[in-house]
Amino acid sequence: NAGVTQTPKFRILKIGQSMTLQCTQDMNHNYMYWYRQDPGMGLKLIYYSVGAGITDKGEVPNGYNVSRSTTEDFPLRLELAAPSQTSVYFCASSYSMNTEAFFGQGTRLTVV
């Protein structure tokens, strides 16, 4: 049982480049989330999804896009990378709002 899998684990981007962070879960969870964690800080919600075909903005959505074409996958797209997007990104999933969330191992992104 893999849980929540994120790829890549590390990435360095140049300013203006684009990339997609992949997230997949094998627990048949409806709820999926993308967070960013800046050094010494808590997590901030970027986007979330309550099911396939449904996505919505979180607290800090600017500069990001998501899609949810299947229950399993929830990729996060950065179109024009900026230094302010240097952070650790976590994908998470949960069965419902009343249950624990399971987190992926994180993607450490540096934009230079």
Partner 1 sequence: ELKVEQNPLFLSMQEEKNYTIYCNYSTTSDRLYWYRQDPGKSLESLFVLLSNGAVKQEGRLMASLDTKARLSTLHITAAVHDLSATYFCAVDGGSNQFYFGTGTSLTVIP
Give the nearest distance from C-beta 66 to partner 1 in angstroms. Answer: 14
The smaller minimum CB distance to partner 1, of residues 81 and 104, is found at 104
Type of residue at 61: P
Report the nearest approach of partner 1 to the CB of residue 16 (Å): 29
Shortest Cβ distance from residue 18 to partner 1 (Å)? 25
Q: Which residue ranges make up the site for partner 1 (CB under 8 A)?
A: 31, 33, 35, 40-45, 48, 50, 56, 58-59, 90, 92, 97-106
Residues 6+ apart with CB under 8 A from 21: 6, 7, 8, 34, 75, 76, 77, 78, 89, 91, 107, 109
